[in-house]
Structure 1
Amino acid sequence: MVSVLKASGERVPFEEQKLRLSLLRVGAYEALANKIVEEVVRVLYDGMSTREIYRIAFRLLRQKSRALSAKYHLKRAIMRLGITGYPFEKYVAEIFRHKGYQSKNNQIIKGHCVNHEVDVVSNNKNKYIFIECKYHNFQGKKCELKIPLYVKSRFLDIAQEQKSILSENLEMWLVTNTRFTSDATQYGRCAGLHLMAWDYPAGNGLKEHVETSGLYPITCITQLTKSELAILFEKNIVLCQSILDDPSVLEKMRFSSERKASVVEQCRALLNDS
């Protein structure tokens, strides 16, 4: 059996069906998905990296549809919300805003012992949510137990002070763009710390939130350069929808009319297919 090398360094058996389902999930029709799988199998060798498999599948998918390839690019697009991590924090705020909460970034919250800077504070009339965002710029890096332990200790200090002030329920969240170790998830469940990662909780992770809400980050638009993304991040633009809402932001970046139209069309196609 042919094995492939994951970003974490782990070797696992290659699964044709897993690749096929990942293509079908983003909207590829069955014949196209099968064709791409066949091409990957044709060039597959023992020890091939999952990154190289992704590149082949992405290239073939992009030849057929930019919108589908942008969706397939989603995991890596989330990884591009860095390297400072601040764009990722803005993105998480947008997720909770879409869920019906008012959200603010980088708030100083008084704790019982010291003040704390909280990455995202979200609230509605019934609940306050304090969210710590942990961004990793390497896909194979996982959030280990020490991170939720540290986050929980900060939130306990905040909760001790704020519960006497707020009548609303308080929730504590830790959100990462990669994954948690099994110890970290076990601790989260036991300690009452809500965790969200790329595919955790099962069926309700970052991936599902994007796919069901259409909150595609601008990093899905592969023709945008790093410097252009940095400018958009500075303007607090992290969503493709924001470009559709105000395409003039691209004119201010001195995009040609043709390039502006291309970026807008890719955003529109991506959201229309979601």
Structure 2
Amino acid sequence: MPTAIIADDEDLQRSDLRRMLQIVWPELEIIADCEDGGDALDAIVRLQPDIAFLDIRMPELSGLDVARASDGKCRIVFTTAYDNHAIEAFKLGAVDYLLKPITEERLRHCSLRMQEQTKAGAMPADLLQIMSALDQRLREPAESERIRWISASSGNTIKLFPIEEVLFFESDLRYTRVVSASDEGHIRTSIKELQKGLAPEQFWQIHRSIMVNPHAIARARRDEMGNIFVELKNHSEQLKVSQTYAWRFKSM
């Protein structure tokens, strides 16, 4: 029997999708319900499903992050509330999408397509490139909405950082560090919120709490335990790369 996981941070959405899948594809076994991206990625690695139904917007790791980190281990179907204009980004052949609210008719069509692809066996060879293209299309802010300057506090002082001079952002539970070659400050904006105002590839997320300016990277190295660390051109700190984002340095 083919197997699948469902990942969505809304209980009702997961249960509705499970119910409709039982109707349109009764042979499909749902082997995991996941509430966030981290659980979804863990389920893909541990259970090796044939298909993953991934919500685009989930806490910590988005559906795009999970699909990219899974590196072709299963077929991907995205569930999304994006409008029809943004849906053009999905028409790349190797992945499918379900626009919320999901209809039984659209799910039936998607299920038939997944059944055909599962029988064919071959996985798309260019999944990482597809994920990068989707990421760029779906996350690109309007020109007027892009962040140009960061106002960050340092003690009683407010400092202005041109966005292109920021080397990296690092978040904890309360603040996000804004670090340049010669200075730093703190803001209350989370990594997830910052991403909404940044141009695609302007900063790379390399950890759930770290984004780095790729132009600031001097090199990446592996230690004896296989962990990847990023060394910067104009700063002494080394930034650890989590396994979720190790795909950026896959050639190492």
TM-score norm. by structure 1 comes to 0.27
- Larger proportion of strand: 2
By relative contact order (CA 8 Å, sep 6+), the higher-ranking structure is 1
- Larger proportion of helix: 1
TM-score norm. by structure 2 comes to 0.29
